[in-house]
Structure 1
Amino acid sequence: MNPGSDRRSAFPAWPQYGHEEREGLIRALEQGQWWRMGGSEVDAFEQEFGDHHGAPHALAVTNGTHALELALEVLGVGAGAEVIVPAFTFISSSQAVQRLGAVAVPVDVDPDTYCIDPAAVESAIGPRTRAIMPVHMAGHFCDMDALAKLSLDSGVPLIQDAAHAHGARWQGRRVGELGSIAAFSFQNGKLMTAGEGGAVLFPDAGSHAAGFLRHSCGRPRTDRAYFHRTSGSNFRLNEFSAAVLRAQLARLEDQIDVREQRSPLLDRLLADIPGVQPQARDPRCDRNPHYMAMFRLPGIGEDARNAVVDALVERGIPAFVAFRAIHRTDAFWEVGAPDESVEDIARRCPNAESISRDCVWLHHRVLLGSPEQIHTAASAIADVLDGT
């Protein structure tokens, strides 16, 4: 494999690929059928991905946003429903809800792990709540024990937004072993990628069958008479993407091993820099794939934080500003917003407000670098902050 490197920093490049992806693409090309109904790559990938994550059923789809939409549809979410989402997340978490005609209800997150706060979830559950959507932020599991109890007590199902959590484990259990539907993304920056793509894990055959119908325009696999049994859309993944993802999956665990080895070093170095707080880790999250290396600069302010990120990028560090709180975007208010003002939500979600202003993340390829490169990244952060 030839992962390449960044010209300035020499951090490993992303995506990474090798002869396995080339062979997979040729295999898909030469089988003569390039869509899932005639080929074998998507079927094989679904089996392999489901097995890897401990799920009895997996369905490959076009992207992670569609994975969330499909999961919500299978649970019957639509007009008149409410879905609880974290206020600090990528906008797809809320837009997948809103595009189905439902209302996204943002709640606050933990100030240390940046994952959804179970107490805030409990306070937000109401008569119209049809799903709770925790996001495993940067690969760190949400408190699935507390959330599972809330789900059981309230009767409201969970949908795990696992877009960052490929290969993650919570007390030894994989995403697909937690008894709830989970959605993944394979967008270009994700821990395994085909440029785009997504997957949904289902805990039972019935929900998987419903998902399959809806991801293929409501049409059964063997249909020849255009007998569409449900509403749906075309969320089918193509054979070429599936072939690439099979190769990506095969090297996922080795890459996680490297990131797990490098992350404690980076966290220790960052914690030694005045004013820097690395993302915390719950010990129950016993395997974190580290989609991002995240840290906060409490009290710095959004403009100054943005200037820090710009300075890091100038030094060859692949740094990014954190997600904007979803209620602070125009998109959130276009359709399917709760009957509250921006400031109402902000008062309920002070941690999400602060994190979105003071948090920085480094691309996970930094954690694939050498210990010397980890020191280089930390030194650059220290130097930039010393100059602010």
Structure 2
Amino acid sequence: MSDSPRTAPDFPVWPQFDDAERAGLVRALDQGQWWRMGGGEVDAFEREFAEYHGAPYALAVTNGTHALELALQVLGVGPGTEVIVPGFTFISSSQAAQRLGAVAVPVDVDLDTYCLDPAAVEAAITSRTRAIMPVHMAGHFCDMDALGKISANSGVPLIQDAAHAHGASWQGRRVGEHGGIAAFSFQNGKLMTAGEGGAVTFCDADQFEQAFLRHSCGRPRTDRRYLHQTSGSNFRMNEFSASVLRAQLARLGGQIDTREQRWPLLAGLLAQIPGVVPQGRDPRCDRNPHYMAMFRLPGFDEDRRNALVDDLVERGLPAFAAFRAIYRSAGFWETGAPEETVDQIAGRCPNVEAIGADGIWLHHRTLLGTEEQMHAIAEILAQALAAA
């Protein structure tokens, strides 16, 4: 590698869009009805998204957090119940349960894949556990074989937080082909986006119908007399967002193909840098969309890691600190927290503690770059580490 300072190349921009999105927006506009009850874009997107992910049903909603909240409510999560979540995740995973009055119970993750540790899940199940939430971290599937057995043996359903996992598969089975419920996000940085938005996939028709009611203030599709059958809220997606997402979905597969080609190259280059450990991969995860290009720097503390991230950003890399452990944010403790201290939870989540302190991720748009740009990333990181 060169000794002269290297600046980052111009990576592909994100979000990506072209005339397909423009045509969709005009198509939605020309309908003259811009909400889902009067137009056709949301209905069409739901059919296309469900088919792409191997699910019988999909419900488009306002955002990924609402997708989780709605899915949990359909499973009966509420006051007096518990939801097992990974300690290493974006805090929406826990807040969706906490806003329903449930207690979020953080457990440890695997140090190689950063995904939920099945043994930790099994140890955390109580008579109050109403759901287990595997988060497919950075697009890598959780161990659905082990988690599926735990769910079957305990009777506690799984709800997949698939906010990072559009188009992912585990042993040839897509998110919707693992049964149960899964929640997706279309926030601006996600693998497909309309700025905001979310979706929930279902395998059960009754659950889908209940979710539809609850996402539309408890009101049936054909109601004309305000006969609200359930409690709920307005989580309906608008027609403009759906038209954009239909175009985004159409190019998702090609983008995943590119990232699947680039990540092995980049991971190999990063692994050659002393002290850098890229996120691993279980071979059963046979399609990973790579929402993040993640790696660890074992031995770094949070302050040193944060300083390195700042340096990488100054050098032009879209670098970010890994998620903070959810129980180390004040928002986690406002409502629905377990009767434990931070230190007690941290004591049973050593891998969460490690990744939260020394983990770094790069925006997935970097993996849409060229092979030469993967070498540039590694060179910049090596120089920044040397400077640090």
Determine the structure 1 residue equivalent to 2:207: 207
Partner SS, residue 119 of structure 1? helix
Aligned length: 382
Q: Deviations over 1:361-380 (max 9, x none)?
A: 00000000001111111110
CA deviation after TM superposition for structure 1 residue 185, in Å: 0.1
8 Å CA contact 2:59–2:212 kept in 1: the answer is yes
Determine the structure 2 residue equivalent to 1:291: 291
Provide structure 1 residue ranges, at least 5 long, that are not aligned to the other structure.
1-6
Within 5 Å, give how 1:211-250 maps onto structure 2. 211-250=211-250
- 1:361 equivalent in alignment to 2:361: yes
- 1:175 equivalent in alignment to 2:149: no
The aligned amino acid for 2:246 is: R
Distance in 2, Cα, partners of 1:8 & 1:57: 42
Distance in 1, Cα, partners of 2:18 & 2:63: 23
Within 5 Å, give how 1:77-226 maps onto structure 2. 77-226=77-226
CA deviation after TM superposition for structure 1 residue 204, in Å: 1.2
The aligned amino acid for 1:211 is: A
Determine the structure 2 residue equivalent to 1:4: none
Partner SS, residue 210 of structure 2? helix
Q: TM-score, normalised by structure 2?
A: 0.98
CA deviation after TM superposition for structure 1 residue 387, in Å: 1.2
Distance in 1, Cα, partners of 2:379 & 2:184: 34
8 Å CA contact 2:53–2:174 kept in 1: the answer is yes
Distance in 2, Cα, partners of 1:298 & 1:214: 45
Partner SS, residue 49 of structure 2? helix
Determine the structure 2 residue equivalent to 1:306: 306
8 Å CA contact 2:8–2:380 kept in 1: the answer is no
CA deviation after TM superposition for structure 1 residue 56, in Å: 0.1
Partner SS, residue 85 of structure 1? strand
The aligned amino acid for 1:368 is: L
The aligned amino acid for 1:48 is: E
CA deviation after TM superposition for structure 1 residue 134, in Å: 0.5
Runs of 4+ in 1 over 4 A off after TM superposition: none
Determine the structure 2 residue equivalent to 1:20: 20
Within 5 Å, give how 1:50-89 maps onto structure 2. 50-89=50-89
Determine the structure 1 residue equivalent to 2:39: 39
CA deviation after TM superposition for structure 1 residue 180, in Å: 1.6
Determine the structure 2 residue equivalent to 1:343: 343
Distance in 1, Cα, partners of 2:76 & 2:123: 22
Q: TM-score, normalised by structure 1?
A: 0.98
CA deviation after TM superposition for structure 1 residue 12, in Å: 0.2
Distance in 2, Cα, partners of 1:299 & 1:95: 30
8 Å CA contact 2:276–2:295 kept in 1: the answer is yes
User: Could you tell me the percent identity over the aligned residues?
Assistant: 75
Partner SS, residue 122 of structure 1? helix
The aligned amino acid for 1:295 is: F
Q: Deviations over 1:25-77 (max 9, x none)?
A: 00000000000000000000000000000000000000000000000000010
Distance in 1, Cα, partners of 2:276 & 2:221: 53
Partner SS, residue 248 of structure 2? helix
Distance in 2, Cα, partners of 1:29 & 1:48: 20
Of 8-17 and 352-361, deviating more is 8-17
